[in-house]
Structure 1
């Protein structure tokens, strides 16, 4: 087989390498072309050198090209994979910093809440640019695989406004299933069967079978509470399991910021989170992790390049969906996964226009979703709150309507639990002004926002958050890694 895959945002070096090696685990894909594109020539150079080393070490005919010219990379591509972060860490820092001034403490801030909504405002115009280029220069039947957050908003915009065949992909379901398999004592993840459905980052394990036996709520609660690690790291997630009756795919930190109950007061935040790793609820945890990872990669690049000389091991193929979807579409080897698509009857008690995440099967005929799923009422209610925010956010991003953007933020569950309407109006003005360079659709609204900010009487505070950690230096990371190696 010979076809072309374009990766937009390929400067996300670690993730691009994972996708690349996963895809080359499929024997039929040895002779394909990867076209890498990114705004950063520096990052493109690093990732191309790594991928070229992999190709050379494995004696493959695979072709790798790299260019900052996106349209050139997309020309004739059958598959386009996006893993972009518009605005980079600079804009992301404002997604965390500015809401903290108004009492909104986020762990990740990339899905909904104040940070996730503004992230969507930056990404959606760019996603539509991608879609235009795909329609104009890519293969006629090109498929767009979106890995970029905010997943639901980006996928919603690409389907409704970009008019491109799009599927959103995430790994939350797989990670949740691995946890469940572990606490239930499964010898491998293949002993666990499940139906997981909802919306991205709010997906629910509504049916669990261990070796064919149905697993109920009480058994699952007892298993998590008995686990020596998860009982401490996933306190909030276990609490939701007890109250809702089903387990969420999302980590303690992710889940905490989609709900109005657990991060509304500083003392409540520290009660429910765990500081052993950022993903369990640390304030701005993913921002810190992303900053450290970038710094670490820049410094340790020679070691990453050296590691690329090892043979590809198909037994270590990851559970990221992309390679498995491509394999199913091209070879007809059927793959079952969980995919983000437009609802249209798949989940009976969620809005038809929503982007849902639910089970489906892939073969030569495409992605075929299992329809007619009904969520437990509490799960549906929680999802619908987020869907309403997502819908307004997408429409605001398309129209550049700053008033609609403010209403979207106002209706966010955590924002609404913490902030007054006056605070939300000022916060959005402040975020739009700070991020104006990445928000062209709001250029007309920036002067008035600046004027309102100059006259504002809404009080703010400089607050690091309830559970903030400083970014560690390269030396600290090296020392920690050496200590873990010695202890292991």
Structure 2
């Protein structure tokens, strides 16, 4: 099955190795081409060498190319994966530090809240360029598999404004599924789930162990009795008690999507754990990123040594991408949770928003299970984020500074902390700090003249 796969942002060496080892594990894909592209030639050289070693050891005919010329890498690609983070750590630092000056305390800052919204402005500007190239040089039956955050905003922009067939992919549902099984003390394979909502605010609506439904009280008891989760997941457990449903995302993620847990600095320690960044530490993901950003350079000899193992020794992961492509190319069905346009899939969320919900893939494409109705509290929480996402996407497309400020103003956590005047000032600071990655917005000097 000779087709071409292009990975934009392939310089993320560890993640690219994972995605490609999954692809290489499908026997029918032996003769494909994997085209890697990134702004870093050094990183491209490293990941290309790793993949070529894996291919050589297993005697495959797969071709690997690597170039900083994105358009060249995309030429003829039927499948495109996007894993970029526009602005890197430099821009990310201002996503966290500037809002913190105004009392907006974020752990991750990659989905909504002030940091996630500005991250989306940078990403969408780049996404439109990616989509232009895809439309012009890829086959008409192309598929963009977007892994880049903020997932909902990036996927929304690619579909509505980029004109590209796109599905958003995340591993939050799988990770939460794995955690629920661990809390129950049973193998993950014995637990079935139905999960639906929007990315990073997806809800486990039905959980079954060997067919037996797990009710709310049993799940609460399992998490509260767990020696680790009871300490690390205080926000998620509290939301489970009040809403009746468990959320996909980590304690740190969920705490910044809601207006209740991080609005008073003195209360934050009551809801987080500092065992690891993901459990709610202020700026935790930024710290983690800074500390590990060059791990692949220091660990490169080990990674290259690992590449000498035959593929039979690599365990295929539950990242969706390879399974989707396998289903489309071979017809072997695959069930997963995908980020797509709603269009009635979830009955009580808007048709135009990006939802994350169960679907099946086969030769006929990605087919979503329609008619899901979210519990009212879950729908209300998702709807608040959808409103922010819609304004944020429109602002990114048009370069409308006022609309961007309104999007930030309506963010649940920002609105719980800041006055309108503070939001206006905060966004101005962020726009100035990130101007080099925001071509759609007027230059800072132009904005200053307009304001005067």
TM range (shorter): over 0.9
Say if 1:196 and 1:205, in contact at 8 Å, map to a contact too. Answer: yes
| Alpha carbons 1:430, 1:449 under 8 Å: kept | no
Q: Which residue of 2 aligns with 1:439?
A: 438
Correspondence for 2:127: 127
Deviation readout 1:25-51 (Å, 9 max, x if unpaired): 111111110000011111111111111
Matched residue of 2:355: which SS?
strand
| Structure 1 residue 315, shift from structure 2 partner | 6.5
Distance in 2 between residues matched to 1:301 and 1:95, nearest whole Å: 30
In the TM superposition, 1:197-346 aligns within 5 A as 197-313=196-312, 316-346=315-345
The verdict on how the C-alpha distance between 1:315 and 1:212 changes in structure 2, with shifts beyond 3 A counting, is farther
| 2:31 and 2:62 in contact (8 A); partners too | yes
In structure 2, the partner of 1:382 is 381
Query: For residues 125-165 of structure 1, what are the alpha-carbon distances to aligned partners after superposition, in whole Å with 9 as ceiling and x for unaligned?
Result: 11111111111101110000000000000000000011111
Q: Deviations over 1:212-246 (max 9, x none)?
A: 01111000000000011100110111000000000
**Distance in 2 (alpha carbons) for counterparts of 1:191 and 1:45:** 41
Go from structure 1 to structure 2 and tell me whether the alpha carbon gap of 1:309 and 1:6 turns closer, same or farther (over 3 Å shift): same
Partner of 1:362: 361
Kindly indicate whether residue 356 of structure 2 is the aligned counterpart of residue 352 of structure 1.
no
Q: Deviations over 1:86-111 (max 9, x none)?
A: 01111001101111111111000000
SS at match of 2:440: helix
**Size of the alignment, in residue pairs?**
452
Deviations 1:159-206 (A, max 9, x none): 0011111000000000000011111122x2121111100000000001
Q: Measure the CA separation in 2 of the matches of 1:47 and 1:197.
A: 35
Q: Distance in 2 between matches of 1:305 and 1:402?
A: 47
Trace 1:25-44 onto structure 2 (pairs within 5 A): 25-44=25-44
Do 1:153 and 1:393's aligned partners in 2 also have CA atoms closer than 8 Å? yes
Whole-Å separation in 2 of the counterparts to 1:313 and 1:275:
38
| 2:436 aligned counterpart, secondary structure | helix
Q: TM-score, normalised by structure 2?
A: 0.98
Give SS of 1:247's match.
coil
Question: Residues of 1 paired with 2:275 and 2:179: CA distance?
Answer: 17
Q: What CA distance in whole angstroms lies between the structure 2 residues aligned with 1:389 and 1:239? A: 24
Does residue 1:65 correspond to 2:69, yes or no?
no
Aligned residue number for residue 173 of structure 1: 173
Do structure 1's residue 183 and structure 2's residue 183 form an aligned pair? Answer: yes
Instruction: Give the aligned partner of residue 416 of structure 1.
Output: 415
Q: Do residues 371 (structure 1) and 379 (structure 2) align?
A: no
Q: Distance in 2 between matches of 1:165 and 1:408?
A: 26
Between the aligned partners of 2:195 and 2:111, the Cα distance in structure 1 is 19
Contact 1:433 1:449 survives alignment (8 Å): no
Give 2:148's aligned residue.
Answer: 148
- Aligned partners of 2:115, 2:360: CA distance in 1, in Å? 33
TM score, norm. by length of structure 1 = 0.91
Task: Tell me, in whole angstroms, the C-alpha distance in 2 between the residues paired with 1:196 and 1:374.
Answer: 11
> Where does structure 1 differ by over 6 angstroms across 4 or more consecutive aligned residues?
none
Q: Is the 8 A contact 1:344 1:353 kept in 2?
A: yes
CA distance in 2, matches of 1:303, 1:190: 31
Please tell me whether the aligned partners of residues 21 and 314 of structure 2 are also in contact (alpha carbons under 8 angstroms): no
CA contact 1:173–1:249 (8 Å) conserved in 2: yes
CA apart distance, 1:450: 4.7
Q: CA deviation at 1:296?
A: 2.3
- Asked whether the equivalents of residues 50 and 307 of structure 2 are also in contact (C-alpha less than 8 Å), the reply is yes
Is the 8 Å Cα contact of residues 107 and 283 (structure 2) preserved in structure 1?
Answer: yes
SS in 2 for 1:243: helix
How far apart, CA to CA, are the structure 2 residues paired with 1:261 and 1:58?
52
State the 1:58 CA deviation.
Answer: 1.4
C-alpha deviations, 1:335-373, integer Å up to 9, x for none?
Answer: 000000000000000011000000000000000000000
| Deviation string, structure 1 residues 435-461 (Cα, Å, up to 9, x no partner) | 0000001135x21445699x9xxxxxx
- CA RMSD in angstroms comes to 1.3
Report deviation, 1:63.
Answer: 0.4
| Mapped partners of 1:204, 1:122: distance in 2 | 28
Residue 485 of structure 1 aligns with which residue? none
Give the secondary structure class of the aligned counterpart of 1:443. coil
Q: Which segments of 5 or more consecutive residues in structure 2 lack a partner in the other structure?
A: none
